[in-house]
Structure 1
């Protein structure tokens, strides 16, 4: 039963948390040509198959292509400066070696990665950029981050501390069988979501079923989410997120090669190259601010929010309006937004200049920041409305609040 519960953790973000999975879930995916002839299967049976999957070992190569429809190079540079350190401490790792900073590169363009996993104690991910490589290696109690271009290494000890009480409590609340989980997923979909099986596909030479998730509501920016599921193992192989705007998928990341055999133990061995700068942890590690010191601390969300509106995350109140795919988060920051771009904090000047559209209504006036999926309205009185909804939906929500 424990294994079933463990496996169930992977289906929830894939099939229930529509918007969340769409925006942050990098489930490897890339469809190949040729549709295999497989036995018929219902959506519930396919969800059960995913939930019952217990893939512990794999290795392979996959490619991630992301097109959010915004100038992400400027955005990434701005976000990199939010809440960051001065960089003057020679004992600290440079931003290029910090995983939280480095992996922001995946939110734009096309990238190739190599992955390997051998259970919960050993994983390796390598981001390949020409002759340069950036690797994250977890091997037992050790976690290494290595940037070949900078020739820098970050090392963390004590990575394996076992599940905490909170994790155990969550597992107790999860459905105990694949069928029970599938029932919960379909129930959660309710009247707002359509979940169907949309044929078959070839992914990295593997036969796969296509699970198709679509909003039934109007006003969402999501056209569909497609997950290709390995017909033999139940492992998700493909994740494609399409916007109602059409064009290239917002996210199309995929296995080009995959092997479910156990990787050689040496795959997870790491020794710092001669001459490399080695840092024992990042600055946040000693303060307990990061997960293993790698930048995912409790203030990460607050710092991110501050990039969009002064005061966000600092005592601001958040409310949720709407439901399903048209859910909008309303954040009352209590801070006026600078009327002129040159008065704005430097972290958001690029955002205001490059893709902000001025709007007005009963709520007053404000600026809408748009991508192909997530849009945000920041009113001049400091209220933020954000969601995977259209610009008109944001304006309607702001008007309705008055």
Structure 2
């Protein structure tokens, strides 16, 4: 297939590279010339395991990038993968996605040399961006069809890719969700054709991927429900972990036991500092805001947010039991919201650092890949170039991201002024000469 992907952020770049890996000819469209140049040079504009080599392999061949929406009519299917960030009230900002929809419709109405009069025949536009159930039909499809007409189908195919494992998640999905207008066989057939190489590869490995065929609003609600449920599960185990901590009980031992119950399952039971990133916080806030606008108070989802927001404060309270924080030098290990990514959006390290600075601490921070992104939040913070450097002379250390390299720390603790560790991710192995405290264990 000839596929275009509008938007080259975390989602768009990953699906463009992976679709090229599956054998499709893919063109990535982005308004940022630097991003376009990076992809065409074979470089990934984001840090994501497995992405660099795929872009390097396919750039100049099955994968190319451009700022020109005029390439869309030359493709069979267009994915819209534009970010929808949160507004201050928790609602989502769809302005960039609406603008991209407008430009997509204009491009599909005909190339400039055709005077915009030649409508492309039987094109399918698929919304990958996460939007509320009514947005596609109410705001996006009308903008596309106003220019391109009914020959263009508009569908939804929500993504379930985790940052840090997005490539693996795309290539080995738990499910595929196809949202189409009732009776729109053209869009459904196009989605099946697009994913056919992936489904065949998974079947050859003995894995059948369930496909959910539904309407567009339901498809988008599946995305929100999926993330809200997982976020609530993490907050629940964190809440239980805080209770376990008061009894001196290791929450991980409890989690291992309850995870054996197939009604609960073992995944997402790693208690600790909480969830961040671009998906859980944004999606849970958006569905809470939307529910309130419809007159319903989502108490469980709000509780999940409240528990998550409180975990950094719990970490700081534990630290204050061991160290007079005012004037203390405190190392913060980990700035990305999770390992495997340089994304610091809603990282739990941010409120931790804020809390340390409010308490008068001298903070030094380290992350293997996310330092430059965190400088946008804390330009005057001291950043170390290694974990060992961050620990040197520190009165305490807080572990906020579970990078593998932190598990190997050992002699590096000897350079600390006082060997106090508060671990928010169960990364550090307790030692006899360490004052070690786990957040929920």
Q: Normalising to structure 1: TM-score of the pair? A: 0.23
Compare relative contact order (CA 8 Å, sep 6+) and give the higher one, 1 or 2.
1
- Could you say which structure has the higher helix fraction? 2
TM-score using structure 2 length: 0.21
- Choose between structure 1 and 2: higher strand proportion: 1
